[in-house]
Structure 1
Amino acid sequence: MIFDRKQQRLLLEGKEYSLEDIRRLIAGGAEAHSPASWDLYLFLNEWFNDSPVITVHTSGSTGTPKELIVRKDQMMQSARLTCEFLNLEKGQSALLCMNLRYIGAMMVVVRSLVAGLNLIVRPASGHPLADIEEPLRFVAMVPLQVYNTLQAPEEKERLKQTDILIIGGGAIDEALEAEIKTLPTAAYSTYGMTETLSHIALRRLNGPSASSHYHPFSSVKLSLSVEDTLVIDAPLVCDQILRTNDIARIYSDGSFMILGREDNVINSGGIKIQAEEMEKLLRPFISVPFVITSVPDQRLGQAVTLLLEGERDTEKIGNKLHELLEPYYRPKYILTTDCIPQAGNGKVNRAECRILAKQILTTFYPHMFKSLS
Structure 2
Amino acid sequence: MITEFNTSFSINGLQIAYADLSEVAYSLVKEGEPFEREIGDFLLDWISESPVIVQRTSGSTGTPKEIVLSKEGMVKSARITGDFLGLGEGTKAVLCLPVNSIAGKMMLVRALILGWELTMVAPERTPLWALQDTIDFVAMVPMQLEASLKEMDRVSMVLVGGAPVSAHLQQALMGLDTIVYESYGMSETASHIALRKLNPLPEASKSGSLPPFQVLPGIHVDQDETGCLVIDAPFLSETSIRTNDMVSRPEENSFYWLGRADNIVNSGGVKLMPELLESKLQPFIKQRFFLTGLPDKVLGQKLVLVVEGEPEGDLIAEIKRISGLEKYEVPKAVHYLSAFEETKSGKISRAEITQKLI
Percent identity, please.
34
Q: Which residues of 2 match residues 214-253 of structure 1 at below 5 A?
A: 214-252=213-251
Q: 2:82 — aligned with what? A: 83
Q: Which residues of 2 match residues 69-218 of structure 1 at below 5 A?
A: 69-150=68-149, 156=150, 158-207=151-200, 209=202, 211-218=210-217
Q: 1:370 — aligned with what? A: none
Give deviations 1:208-246, integer Å, cap 9, x for gaps: 536521111121112111211111111122322112111
Q: 2:66 — aligned with what? A: 67
Cα displacement (A) at 1:306: 0.8
Rate the CA distance shift 1:35–1:323 in 2: closer, same or farther, 3 A.
same
CA distance in 2, matches of 1:204, 1:322: 32
CA distance in 2, matches of 1:342, 1:48: 33
Q: Which residues of 2 match residues 340-355 of structure 1 at below 5 A?
A: 340-355=340-355
Amino acid of the residue matched to residue 52 of structure 1? P
CA distance in 2, matches of 1:66, 1:27: 27
Amino acid of the residue matched to residue 272 of structure 1? K
Cα displacement (A) at 1:79: 0.3
CA distance in 2, matches of 1:131, 1:313: 36
Cα displacement (A) at 1:292: 0.5
Decide whether the 8 Å contact of 1:144 with 1:346 is kept in 2.
no
Q: 1:363 — aligned with what? A: none
Cα displacement (A) at 1:163: 1.4
CA distance in 1, matches of 2:335, 2:308: 9
Q: 1:339 — aligned with what? A: 339
Is the deviation greater in 113-122 or in 287-296?
287-296
CA distance in 2, matches of 1:287, 1:208: 25
Is the deviation greater in 92-101 or in 8-17?
8-17
Amino acid of the residue matched to residue 287 of structure 2? V
Cα displacement (A) at 1:145: 0.4
**What secondary structure, in the 3-state scheme, does the structure 1 residue paired with 2:155 have?**
coil
1:321 aligns with 2:319: yes
Decide whether the 8 Å contact of 1:98 with 1:141 is kept in 2.
yes
CA distance in 1, matches of 2:294, 2:124: 33
**What secondary structure, in the 3-state scheme, does the structure 1 residue paired with 2:294 have?**
strand
CA distance in 2, matches of 1:39, 1:4: 19
Cα displacement (A) at 1:29: 7.5
**What secondary structure, in the 3-state scheme, does the structure 2 residue paired with 1:91 have?**
coil
Decide whether the 8 Å contact of 1:143 with 1:170 is kept in 2.
yes
Decide whether the 8 Å contact of 1:231 with 1:241 is kept in 2.
yes
1:272 aligns with 2:271: yes
Q: 1:369 — aligned with what? A: none
TM-score, normalised on structure 1? Answer: 0.88
Amino acid of the residue matched to residue 149 of structure 1? S
CA distance in 1, matches of 2:165, 2:185: 14
Q: 2:39 — aligned with what? A: 40
TM-score, normalised on structure 2? Answer: 0.91
Query: What residue ranges of structure 1 are gaps of 5+ in the alignment?
Result: 151-155, 359-373
Q: 1:304 — aligned with what? A: 303
The CA RMSD over aligned residues, in Å, is 2.0
Give deviations 1:57-91, integer Å, cap 9, x for gaps: 21111211111111111001110100000111112
CA distance in 2, matches of 1:27, 1:347: 31
Rate the CA distance shift 1:90–1:27 in 2: closer, same or farther, 3 A.
closer
CA distance in 2, matches of 1:166, 1:263: 27
Rate the CA distance shift 1:312–1:55 in 2: closer, same or farther, 3 A.
same
Q: 2:55 — aligned with what? A: 56
Is the deviation greater in 268-277 or in 224-233?
224-233
Cα displacement (A) at 1:357: 2.4
Rate the CA distance shift 1:105–1:28 in 2: closer, same or farther, 3 A.
closer
Decide whether the 8 Å contact of 2:264 with 2:271 is kept in 1.
yes
CA distance in 2, matches of 1:111, 1:241: 24
**What secondary structure, in the 3-state scheme, does the structure 2 residue paired with 1:205 have?**
strand
Decide whether the 8 Å contact of 1:222 with 1:230 is kept in 2.
yes
